[in-house]
Amino acid sequence: MLTDLKSAKKVTGAKQVTRALKNGTARRVFLAQDADPRVTEPIELLCREQGTETEAVATMAALGSACGIAVGSAVAAVVD
Q: DSSP secondary structure string, 30-44?
A: EEETTS-HHHHHHHH
The rounded percent of the chain whose pLDDT value lies above 70 is 100
pLDDT tens readout for residues 22-41: 999 999 999 999 999 999 99
Domain boundaries, the chain: 1-77
Instruction: Give the global pTM.
Output: 0.94
- Confirm if 24 and 34 have CB atoms less than 8 A apart: no
What class is the 1-77 domain? alpha beta
- pLDDT (0 to 100) of residue 57: 97
Q: How far is CA 61 from CA 24, 46, 53, 71, 72, in A?
A: 27, 23, 21, 7, 4
Residue type at position 14: A
Average pLDDT across the chain, whole number: 95
pLDDT exceeds 80 at position 1 = no
39-48 pLDDT tens trace: 999 999 999 9
Backbone angles phi, psi at 9, to 5 degrees: -75, 130
